[in-house]
Structure 1
Amino acid sequence: MLLNPLLSLSRSPSVLQRPSSLLRPLSSSNLPPIQGGSSSPSLYCRSLVQRLDHDAFLTSYFWPAGRKKDAFFALRAFNIELASIQETVSNPAIGRMRLQFWRDAVRDLSNGLPPPLHPIPLLLSQTTTPSTRDLTAYYLNQIIDAREANLLDPPPPTLTSLLTTLSTTSTPLHLLSLSLLTPTPPAYITSSVQHLSLSIGLTNLLRALPFHLSRRRAVGLPLDLCAKERVVMEKVFRIASGKEGGEGGLSQVKGLREVVWEVAVRANDELMTARRELELEGGTGFPVGKEFMPVFLSAIPARSYLQRLEQLDGDAFDPSLQRRHWRVPLDVWLAWRRGRF
C-alpha cells in the first residue's frame, strides 16, 4: 500500500497541458470522463476539476471532507467554466451572454433563491450558508467582471497592469478558497494568500505561452517588457504557426526568453513575499497551521514550474515544461506534512 496516495496520480501518462486553473488540456486522451450532472453536482464538479484543473485536484486531497471540500470543487469548477468562455467564443457579445448566465446564478445565490439546474450553481447553493452568501457572491462577481473585461484579450501594457488584472481574477479565487476554511483568517494569512495568488497567476501565464502562441492568441506578456527586449510579436506568431522557420524555434526568438525571465522573477518574488508575510505583523511563521494549509498547497505546482524554468534558463517552450512532473504530488504531500511551501 502506498504511504502517499498522491503518488498513484503521478503514474498517469504525461499529457501536454494548458495551465491548470485556467485552461483545458490540449489532449483529452487518457483523461477521466466528466461524471455526474444536476443529479449529482458534487460528482460533476469533482470530475470536472480532476479532468481540467490537475493542480487543484492534487490539493483537494487535503481539504476537510464534507461541505468544505465540496465548496472547493464548486469554486474551482466555476473558475474553469468562466475561463473556458474566452477560449470557446469568437464573438465578445456571445461571451457576455454566457457570462450573464453566471451573473444571474450568483445573484440568485446571494438572494437565497433556487439555483438554475446546472451542477455548479447547484453545488454552490448547497455549500453556501446564509452567513457566507454575501462574501461568496462578492468574490464570484469580481471574477465575472474581470473575465468580461478581458473578453477581447487585450495584452497588458505593463507588468503592473498585469498584476492588477490578476488581483481581480486569481486573488478573489484564492481569498474565497481561504474563506471556505475559516471565515475570519488573520491579516497575515490573508496578505500571504494575496501575494501567493499573484505568483500563481504569473506562473500560469508562462505555462500557457506555448498553447496561446499556437493559436495566435494574445499571450498576456506585458507590452513594455516586449518593447524593451525588442520582441516582434508578429514574428513570434509566424514561427509558432510554422509560417516562418527559425533555428531553435520559439526558444531562440530574440528577447522572448528575457521577457519570460522577467515575469518569472516577479512570480518568484511574489512567492517569497508570501512566505515572509507569515512572519510579519504577528504572524506565526512556519509551520503553517493545518486549518490554512490547503490553500497554500497551491504554491507547490507553481514553485515546481519556476524551478524547472530556471534550470532551463527561462526557456518556456521546452517540451518538458508542458508535462506533469512526477515529483509534484510527492511535494504536495510533503508540504502538507511539514506545513511549509
Structure 2
Amino acid sequence: MTSSSYDYAREIVYAQDRDRYLAGLFAAEDARNGLWSLYAFNAEIARVRDLIRDPLPGEVRLQWWRDFLQGTEHGDAAANPVADALGQTIRAYNLPVKALTDMIDARVFDLYDDPMPTLHDLEGYCGETVSALFQLGALVLNKGQDAGTGEVAGHAGVAFGLCGLMRALPWHAARGQMYLPADLLDRHGVDRQTVLKGEATPELRAALAELRGHARHHLVRVRQKLKDVPPQAAAVFLPLALVEPVLARMDAKDFDPLRGSAELSQLRRQWILWRAARKSGPKL
C-alpha cells in the first residue's frame, strides 16, 4: 500500500498546502515522498477543527493519531493512507515521534475558543506546530541526519506561523476563535468582542502592527542562519520567501485585517518560490 499511500498524501498536500507542495518539488526526488507524508499529516491534524461541531469528536480524532504514533492504535492503521505513509517515513528517517505527538498536543488548542494567553504562548504554539514541521522536513531531506537546523527552524516556524495566523484572522474571528494573545490585545486596549464582531479598530491595527514586527524579527534571525542550512535541506525553507510579501500587503493603510485578504495570487506565489529556489538556498 506504500506507493499508493504516498500518492494519496501528495494529493492532499497539493490540494490543501499548495505552497509547501510547490516548494517540495525543488527537493531531491527520492526524498519527496517523505515530505508529502509529513505535510499531509500536518494538514490532517490542522483541519480537525473544520470537520467537527464540538471539541470532543476532535479530541477523539487527535487521540487516534497519538495512538497510531505510540503503537497503540485501534484497528488497522495501515488502512489510513496518510498514517501508512507517515509510518514508513518515520522508520525510513528515524524521525522523533515525540515531535509529532507534540504537534498533536498543540492542536488541541484549535478545538476550543479559549483565548491565547500571551505572546510567549503564541510563539510556543507556532514552535510546536510550524517550527517542528520545518525541522522534521529538514531531517528527511538530510537523510535522517541532524542538519543543524534546529535554531533556524525555530525562528522560521514563528515567522511563518504568525504570518499565517494574521492571514487567517477574518476566518478565525468569524467562528469565534482568537489566536491573538491577550497580553498583546490588552497592551493596545483592544476589545476582544469587537474583533469577533469583525470591527477593525485603530487599537486592533496597532496590535497587529506590533505582531508583524515580531514576525519580521524572527524573519531577520532566519536570514542570519540560512547560510548554515545544508543545500539538500534548503527546499524545506522556501515557503518563507512568501512571508515578507504578505506582511507588506498587511502594512497598507487601507488594508482591513478582518475583511480584507492578504493573499498573493497563485502565479505570484509560484514566481516567488521559483526565484528563491533559483538562488543558492532560499534568500529572503
The alignment's TM-score, normalised by the length of structure 2, stands at: 0.88
User: In the alignment, residue 133 of structure 2 is paired with which amino acid?
Assistant: L
Q: Please report how far the alpha carbon of residue 290 of structure 1 lies from its aligned counterpart in structure 2 after TM superposition.
A: 2.5
Gaps of 5+ in 1: 1-36, 241-249, 279-284
In 1: Cα distance, 2:109 partner to 2:252 partner? 35
User: In the alignment, residue 84 of structure 1 is paired with which amino acid?
Assistant: R
Q: Name the counterpart of 1:94.
A: 57
> Contact conserved, 1:108 with 1:115, CA < 8 A, in 2?
no
Which of 14, 20, 43 is 1:80 aligned to?
Answer: 43
Q: Name the counterpart of 1:29.
A: none
More helix, by proportion: 2
> Contact conserved, 1:49 with 1:76, CA < 8 A, in 2?
yes
Q: Name the counterpart of 2:174.
A: 214
Q: Name the counterpart of 1:120.
A: 82
Cα offsets for 1:178-201 (capped at 9, x unmatched):
1111133443x3211211111011
Q: How does 1:159-238 map to 2 (within 5 A)?
A: 159-182=119-142, 183-187=144-148, 189-215=149-175, 217-238=176-197
User: In the alignment, residue 206 of structure 2 is paired with which amino acid?
Assistant: E
- Structure-2 change in CA distance of 1:320 and 1:153 (3 Å): closer
Q: Name the counterpart of 1:281.
A: none
Find out whether 1:108 has 2:71 as its counterpart: yes
Find out whether 1:337 has 2:275 as its counterpart: no
Q: Name the counterpart of 2:7.
A: 43
In 1: Cα distance, 2:202 partner to 2:127 partner? 30
> Contact conserved, 2:77 with 2:84, CA < 8 A, in 1?
yes
- Structure-2 change in CA distance of 1:131 and 1:210 (3 Å): closer
Q: Please report how far the alpha carbon of residue 228 of structure 1 lies from its aligned counterpart in structure 2 after TM superposition.
A: 2.1
- Structure-2 change in CA distance of 1:164 and 1:128 (3 Å): closer
Q: Please report how far the alpha carbon of residue 109 of structure 1 lies from its aligned counterpart in structure 2 after TM superposition.
A: 9.5
Find out whether 1:269 has 2:269 as its counterpart: no
User: In the alignment, residue 11 of structure 2 is paired with which amino acid?
Assistant: S
> Contact conserved, 2:156 with 2:218, CA < 8 A, in 1?
yes
Q: How does 1:299-310 map to 2 (within 5 A)?
A: 299-310=240-251
Please state whether the residue corresponding to 2:202 is helix, strand or coil: coil
> Contact conserved, 1:261 with 1:314, CA < 8 A, in 2?
no
Please state whether the residue corresponding to 1:225 is helix, strand or coil: helix
Q: Please report how far the alpha carbon of residue 259 of structure 1 lies from its aligned counterpart in structure 2 after TM superposition.
A: 1.1
Which of 288, 298, 314 is 2:239 aligned to?
Answer: 298
User: In the alignment, residue 9 of structure 2 is paired with which amino acid?
Assistant: C
The alignment's TM-score, normalised by the length of structure 1, stands at: 0.75
Q: Please report how far the alpha carbon of residue 322 of structure 1 lies from its aligned counterpart in structure 2 after TM superposition.
A: 3.6
Please state whether the residue corresponding to 2:167 is helix, strand or coil: helix
In 1: Cα distance, 2:126 partner to 2:261 partner? 26
Query: Aligned residues, how many?
Result: 280
User: In the alignment, residue 13 of structure 2 is paired with which amino acid?
Assistant: V
Q: Please report how far the alpha carbon of residue 52 of structure 1 lies from its aligned counterpart in structure 2 after TM superposition.
A: 1.1
Q: How does 1:44-83 map to 2 (within 5 A)?
A: 44-66=8-30, 68-83=31-46
Structure with larger Rg: 1
